[in-house]
Amino acid sequence: MPADASPFTTVIGLEVHVQLLTRTKLFCGCPTTFGAPANTQVCPVCLGLPGSLPVMNRRAFDLALRAALALDCTIAPFTKWDRKNYFYPDLPKGYQISQYDLPFSSDGSLEVVDPKGAFPPRRVGIIRVHLEEDAGKSMHDEAAGTADSRIDLNRAGTPLVEIVSQPDLRSPQEARAWLNELKLLLVYLGVSDCNMQEGSLRVDANVNLHVPRGDGSTAKTPIVEIKNMNSFRSVERALAYEAARQWEEWQRTGIEMGKAPKQTRGWDDAAGITRGQRHKEESSDYRYFPDPDLVPVTVAAEELAAIRAAMGEPPTRLRAALAEKWGIPAADAAVIVNQGRDVVAYYETVAGLVGEGKPAANWLQQDVLRTLNETGGTITDFPVGPAALADLIGRVGRGEFDTARGREIFAGLLTLGRAALPADVAAAVAALGITAVSDDELTDLVRGLLTANPKIVADVKGGKEQAAAGLIGQARKQNPNVNPGKVREVALTLIRAM
Amino acid sequence: MSLSATDVAKVGVLARLALSPTEVEAMARQLSSIVGFVSQLEELDTTRIEPLAHPLDTRNVFRDDVPQTCLTTNQALQSAPRHDGECFLVPAVLGETGAA
């Protein structure tokens, strides 16, 4: 439905938990390695045993600062940690160490621009970014029908930043694109690997509808928080479902925000619906208070400068730099940068060897990335290395092969590479039985064709140069290795000399 | 300052305490007395006093991001009322998990 035709505006805010790329937990020296056997990365601190005391991980705090700076947040000169009290079996202390009234950063933003202009550029405010610990993992095998849940506390105490956006997003599509941009930024800056399958990035979404009334005022539907979305695609689908559900409910009940408590709903990906969960506890029910076990942290201006200096280039700047350096369109640079650092490195190697940016960008997008999309895998183990691709692009550019032939050779390179054979252009050409046609051979061939096709010769002489195209098919029939462009070029030269 | 039985019952639920009506009444009296004692602070003008985030003057206590030796699974589980040798066992938990 186009935005101007919709009878309501969808208002979306996101809460993103991101695991920081540290070796150890936030308050103890237990490793954070994913996939370790249950309860092998635990100690008295993260088990919440009496007498144990937390000590803050320097690296976690620095990475959190890096994330906040990248999101243009204001860094608080003074910050502290609070206890968020609730009971759950995966939370051994009975409280989570989090940040309440003095988070280390606030008031940032992150803009998302769709390279294809599917929605207008959207700058989304960041309310706050704070640093907290994760809970453990509880597993319940409903199929086995057992009465017990099993608790693995390896994850308990893992450092997370929680990023809370303003309700500035206006469609499920925008929300997904913004999450992609956020992930790209955090991965580029080495803050997190943002791997959703491993739980390094989790998203909750708040959504409601603003419905204009006839009198110029706006009705707002009750806010719903959606949980349990395990991919960005799920986020998009869940938001679309929820907006439609709220619209239907609004039309049926007319219940506005404030007339019903905030609701939490879980996304069921298989069923494609959200389901109501428990009513969210009011924040006062968490009985936050400053954690006496942790002393506050102050951040000096020099520290911030050092972190800024070590931060590396964010994707927005990299896109501009790439477009400028290689003279490629902004949309091409966006596609390349959005694929991550490894693809950028691959592209720059190819472009450097070719000595020209645009053909390298074309081949990368149309051939390399398309292949990766179809077959999966990463650029680092792509069967065609940058040197071979650059060689091929160079030869096509010099007219040794036409583009169609070039594609066949690219496919040949893929086959060789997949078979772990040396994948260079010469080998692919040999494997495909392609032999280069010498200039003499080509001239002889075209001369023969001109004799056999007096009408074409006459047409060209009469000014219809496009008639020469009629020779190409015949030339390829006689020798499939000829370059159509060259056939045309040689034919025109010969006819002019006649 | 006095706490109602409803206040105490709510705090009881949040603390996962099953309080009998007699206990609620006793707690209401005791808690009211504690809160009453603390509320003497309200007699003072604290407008120009910084909220105390921590009683110590110490700031910025960090450790390096270096792995330390963990407990063995057996050690970790040994005090648990119930376990299966790998995980802690608790009454069935359904629904969401992870940091809120």
Residue predicted with more confidence, A196 or A438? A196
- Asked if the model's pLDDT at residue B98 lies above 60, the reply is no
Whether the CB of B48 is below 8 Å from some CB of chain A: the reply is no
Which residues in chain A have their CB less than 8 angstroms from residue B91's CB? 147-149
* Burial environment of residue A44 by CB neighbours within 10 A (0 to 12, 13 to 18, 19 or more): middle
Which residues in chain B have their CB less than 8 angstroms from residue A22's CB? 65
> Is there a contact between A339 and A376 (Cβ–Cβ < 8 Å)?
no
Write down the mean pLDDT value for chain A. 91
> Is there a contact between A313 and A349 (Cβ–Cβ < 8 Å)?
no
Q: Is B25 left (phi over 0), alpha (psi -120 to 50) or beta?
A: alpha
Residue with tokens 């040999």: A430
High-pLDDT (> 90) share of chain B, %: 70
Tens-digit pLDDT profile for residues B22-56: 999 999 999 999 999 999 989 999 899 888 889 99
Residue with tokens 């494609």: A272
pLDDT value for A281: 56
- Asked if the model's pLDDT at residue B2 lies above 90, the reply is no
Contact B73 A296 (CB under 8 A): no
**From CA A291, how far away is CA A101, in angstroms rounded?**
12
Contact B65 A59 (CB under 8 A): yes
Q: For A89, name the nearest residue in chain B, comparing CA atoms only.
A: B90
Average pLDDT on B1-8 reads: 87
- The closest of A283, A308, A326, A317 to A86, measured between CA atoms, is A283
In a domain, B61, yes or no: no
HSE-CB of A307 using CA atoms within 13 angstroms: 23
Residues 6+ apart with CB under 8 A from A59: A20, A22, A23, B64, B65
Closest Cβ opposite residue A58 in set B62, B69, B89:
B62
- Asked if the model's pLDDT at residue A466 lies above 90, the reply is no
Which residues in chain A have their CB less than 8 angstroms from residue B93's CB? 88-90, 138, 140, 149
Tens-digit pLDDT profile for residues A142-176: 666 667 899 999 999 999 999 999 999 999 999 99
CA dihedral B80, B84, B89, B95 (to 10 degrees): 150
pLDDT value for B26: 94
Which of A63-72, A378-387, A466-475, B59-68 has the least mean pLDDT? A466-475
Question: What ipTM was reported for this prediction?
Answer: 0.90
Tens-digit pLDDT profile for residues A27-66: 999 999 999 999 999 999 999 999 999 999 999 999 999 9
Average pLDDT on A399-427 reads: 88
* Sequence spans of domains, chain A: 3-304, 313-431, 439-497
Contact A150 B87 (CB under 8 A): yes
Q: For B68, name the nearest residue in chain A, comparing CA atoms only.
A: A29
Architecture in CATH of A439-497: Orthogonal Bundle (1.10)
Closest Cβ opposite residue B71 in set A31, A42, A56:
A42
CA distance A230 to chain B (A): 13
In single-letter form, the type of residue at position A271 comes to A
Residue with tokens 């603003």: A210
Give the E-state strand segments of A155-271 in sequence order: 159-165, 201-212, 218-220, 224-229, 263-268
Contact B65 A31 (CB under 8 A): no
In single-letter form, the type of residue at position A325 comes to K
Which residues in chain B have their CB less than 8 angstroms from residue A37's CB? 73, 86
Tens-digit pLDDT profile for residues B8-23: 998 998 888 999 999 9
CA distance A74 to chain B (A): 19
Q: How many distinct structural domains can be found in chain B?
A: 1
Average pLDDT on A452-472 reads: 86
Contact A39 B73 (CB under 8 A): yes
Residue predicted with more confidence, A436 or A355? A355
In single-letter form, the type of residue at position A494 comes to L
Which residue out of B87, B89, B94 would a mutagenesis test of the A interface target, given it has the greatest number of A Cβ atoms within 10 Å? B87
Domain interval for residue B16: 5-43
CA distance B45 to chain A (A): 22
Query: A378: which 2 tokens?
Result: 């990463």
Average pLDDT on A253-267 reads: 90
**From CA A295, how far away is CA B56, in angstroms rounded?**
7
**Which helix or strand (DSSP H or E) is residue A258 part of?**
none
pLDDT value for A8: 94
> Is there a contact between A37 and B73 (Cβ–Cβ < 8 Å)?
yes
Residue with tokens 């005022």: A217
Closest Cβ opposite residue A148 in set B76, B91, B94:
B91
In a domain, B83, yes or no: no
- Asked if the model's pLDDT at residue A437 lies above 80, the reply is no
pLDDT value for A493: 87
Residue with tokens 């015949």: A474
Name A41's bridge partners.
Answer: none
Contact B76 A42 (CB under 8 A): yes
Mean pLDDT: which of A236-240, A307-311, A338-342 is highest?
Answer: A236-240
High-pLDDT (> 90) share of chain A, %: 70
Contact A132 B90 (CB under 8 A): no
> What is the CATH number for B25?
1.10.20.60
In a domain, B28, yes or no: yes
In a domain, B25, yes or no: yes
pLDDT value for B94: 62
pLDDT value for B85: 96
pLDDT value for A469: 83
pLDDT value for A388: 94
**From CA A167, how far away is CA A221, in angstroms rounded?**
14
pLDDT value for A144: 64
Give A2's pLDDT tier (boundaries 50, 70, 90). Answer: very low
DSSP letters, A58-79, are HHHHHHHHHHHHHTTPEEPSEE
Pairing state of beta strands A263-268 and A224-229?
Answer: parallel
CA–CA distances in Å: residue A469 to residues A184, A398, A438, A457, A481: 47, 20, 20, 11, 17
H-state helical runs in chain B: 5-14, 21-38, 73-77
- Asked if the model's pLDDT at residue A111 lies above 60, the reply is yes
Contact B96 A227 (CB under 8 A): yes
Query: A356: which 2 tokens?
Result: 């020209």
